[in-house]
Amino acid sequence: MTPSTASAIKTLKQINAEFLAHHVKREDLFWVTYMGVEKDSSKLERATDEMKQYLSHPDRLKEVRASIAARKQEKTGGANEAARAKELFALEGWQSLFSVTRIESELGQKLQSQVIEQEAAIHQKRAELKLHYVDDSQKEIEASTNVLRTHIAASTSETIRKSSHAAMLKLEQWVLASGFIEMIKKRNEFARALGFQNYFEYRVQLNERMSVKELFEILDEFEKLTRDACFRQNELLAKKKGKDAILAHNIRYAFSGDASIQLDPYLPFHAALERWIKSFSRLGIRYRQAVLSLDLLDRKGKYENGFMHGPSPCYFDGEKWNPARINFTSNASPSQVGSGRDGLRTLFHEGGHAAHFSNITLNSPCFSQEYPPTSMAYAETQSMFCDSILNDADWLKLYAKNKKGETVPDDIIRLVLTSDQPARAFSERSILVVPVFEHRLYSMSDDQLTAESITRLARDCEREILGVESPRPLLSIPHLLSNEQACSYQGYLLAQMAVDQTRGYFLKKYGYLTDNPHVGAEISKHYWEPGNSISHNATIQSLTGSRLSGKDLAARCNLDKDELWALAKKQIERVQAARPTTESGTADLDATIKIVHGEKLITDNSKGMKKMWADFEAWVQG
């Protein structure tokens, strides 16, 4: 072995080890802090700053480039050539990561630390903020934003819906008065120090490797294709249920509140864990020996949004497989109407993320970590594809059962699917409005940034894209406060476009998705195993043979109720005719699963899935 060979191998192993040391420390602290277990947020702040400084230090990129150059100059053959090719592949992966995270100037590094400090300060203050709604007896009740959002969408009481919405508007003004405006300015200053016009441009380039112009070419096309459907349905809703139905605190309930109520007995939260595991197992989804920790119930001090983070990325170290260690969370309130469906959606969504980040089979953790150059749209495609199955008629027919074991009736399935369909364009445009708002927000000059102007901009964007004001007040969305999630919400819409394209591929090839064991195998091969070594669009082309397009999603948004129900009936007929033995067999995810509540271990699968499901059900109901 030549000296340069030894140097290259040492560099690769050293970078792997150094990265993991920072990543594991930071992600473990992120989990306990956001779960409300660790009260000292400065620990997470320091670990985040250390990891950022490591990733962005110019020496990292220089080291990797030097190692690549040395490795390429070597002359090898046979098995040594294959080993060299693998090492070069991994080193080039690190080069890609360090290229998007490097910060050359001292000013940029200083501003980055200041931005991190601002986020930590706001997060700490946010954890102490108390929000309330008013019930029908005029009693004021403290609630998290998840509870408030569930009330707005599903409560039969207009008093509760209206007061819950008022609490979200209060949160908006709290955000504006608690450092967010200063954060926008500092983020823009940081982005300009790196050569970008503003923070939005910086994040779009970082997350999706495209320009703002390229992004809005895609978004503007979708906006035009769905505008008529969205505004037409708003008008029809007002005619059918009265003008008050399209008020901010009523519109989501008016679109889908009745369906949520009738479906609720068939999707109790205590059964969500079992149904998620069975469904994923039958789809052929496996976690390659990963360790999963799930914190599923809402509690005071816990972060008010579901998420997945992987402290230990998976990768091959030579022939040795290093499985992932992954945490994910939901904020269920089991007694609330709609909590079972929401809990399932989080399990499928975050469980989809976890499956993705457990199945990347390359030779370095740089390919299996969730930050850039991993595209947010690429990552969200995996989770959103998985949770899309919950809205399939055949999935509901197989899995939605009440406490007597009775299958959900067809008329309720029809109500669920068709009552949501008129809101489909509205729902997707509710994602679209966020990047429209953030693009304009970060394009404002510092002297234009006031609480009044930002509030006005939010309401203007909502009216323009949704036709109504503040159905979900924009500044109440937690992503906007996080440096890692700000200016990246468009990834959800780009992902939904990919989801519809992926679903179309499987439906055309097999005719169904629910309990189809081919789905997990093909998704793993084409989408998961390559990690971030290829682009989001390349994964879509690999599976479907076509480039990413939003036209399929727009077409689905524009379906009428009868067209949608005709497709759903075919799914139900297929379940009844083709898969009568779905309850047979065991559920296997090839994972160690731990159910926790903060620091408390509730149960795990060490004694089998059935024991874990029973423990979980008893704990939730108790």
Q: What is the per-residue pLDDT across 185-218, written as a single tens digit (0 to 9) for each?
A: 999 999 999 999 999 999 998 888 889 998 999 9
**Which pLDDT belongs to residue 3?**
46
DSSP annotation string for 562-601: HHHHHHHHHHHHHHHHH-TTTT-S----SEEEEEEETTEE
Q: How many helices (H) and strands (E) does the chain have?
A: 24, 9
Q: What HEC string does 104-116 produce?
A: CCHHHHHHHHHHH
Neighbours of 373 (CB within 10 A): 23
Q: What is the CA radius of gyration of the chain?
A: 24
The pLDDT of residue 10 is above 70: no
**Which pLDDT belongs to residue 371?**
86
The pLDDT of residue 7 is above 80: no
Contact 593, 295 (CB under 8 A): no
Q: What is the mean pLDDT of residues 211-234?
A: 94
Contact 386, 352 (CB under 8 A): yes
Of the pLDDT bands very low, low, confident and very high (cuts 50, 70, 90), residue 258 is low
Per mean pLDDT, which of 136-150, 380-394, 418-432, 570-584 is the most reliable?
380-394
**Which pLDDT belongs to residue 150?**
86
Of the pLDDT bands very low, low, confident and very high (cuts 50, 70, 90), residue 580 is very low
Share of the chain above pLDDT 70, in %: 96
Q: What is the mean pLDDT of residues 119-130?
A: 88
- What confidence tens digit (pLDDT) does each residue in 299-346 have? 888 887 889 999 999 999 999 999 999 999 988 888 887 788 888 999
Of the pLDDT bands very low, low, confident and very high (cuts 50, 70, 90), residue 9 is low
CA distance 84 to 380: 33
From residue 552, alpha-carbon distances to 90, 424, 480 in Å are: 36, 13, 28
Residues in the chain: 622
Neighbours of 447 (CB within 10 A): 7
Of the pLDDT bands very low, low, confident and very high (cuts 50, 70, 90), residue 578 is low
CA distance 148 to 448: 31
- Find, among 31, 123, 32, the residue nearest to 481 by Cα: 123
CA distance 174 to 169: 9
From residue 346, alpha-carbon distances to 294, 352, 415, 497, 601 in Å are: 11, 9, 22, 20, 20
- What confidence tens digit (pLDDT) does each residue in 420-429 have? 788 899 999 9
Amino acid residing at 367: F
**Which pLDDT belongs to residue 256?**
66
**Which pLDDT belongs to residue 406?**
94
Q: Give me the phi and psi of 203, to 5 degrees please.
A: -70, -40
Q: What is the mean pLDDT of residues 113-134?
A: 89
Tell me which of 103-107, 182-186, 459-463, 559-563 is least confident.
Answer: 103-107
Contact 155, 260 (CB under 8 A): no
Tell me which of 6-20, 88-102, 271-285, 540-554 is least confident.
Answer: 6-20
- Find, among 122, 119, 3, the residue nearest to 71 by Cα: 3
- Find, among 67, 53, 94, the residue nearest to 9 by Cα: 67
Given strand 290-297, what is the order of strands in its sheet? Answer: 307-312, 325-332, 290-297, 591-597, 600-604
pTM of the model: 0.82
Query: Which is more confident, 579 or 460?
Result: 460
Tokens of 375: 């595209």
The pLDDT of residue 584 is above 60: no
**Which pLDDT belongs to residue 6?**
53
Contact 442, 164 (CB under 8 A): no
The pLDDT of residue 361 is above 70: yes
From residue 219, alpha-carbon distances to 128, 161, 164 in Å are: 37, 31, 31
Run of H or E including 463: helix 451-466
Amino acid residing at 560: D
Tokens of 191: 């982005």
Contact 239, 578 (CB under 8 A): no
SS3 at position 554: helix
From residue 344, alpha-carbon distances to 31, 227, 280, 330, 348 in Å are: 21, 30, 12, 9, 6
CA distance 582 to 179: 53
Of the pLDDT bands very low, low, confident and very high (cuts 50, 70, 90), residue 148 is very high
Per mean pLDDT, which of 3-12, 107-116, 354-363 is the most reliable?
354-363
570: β partners = none
DSSP annotation string for 532-567: GGS-HHHHHHHHHSS---SHHHHHHHT--HHHHHHH
**Which pLDDT belongs to residue 1?**
47
- What confidence tens digit (pLDDT) does each residue in 476-502 have? 999 999 888 899 999 999 999 999 999
Ranges of each domain in the chain:
3-102
Mean pLDDT value across the chain: 91
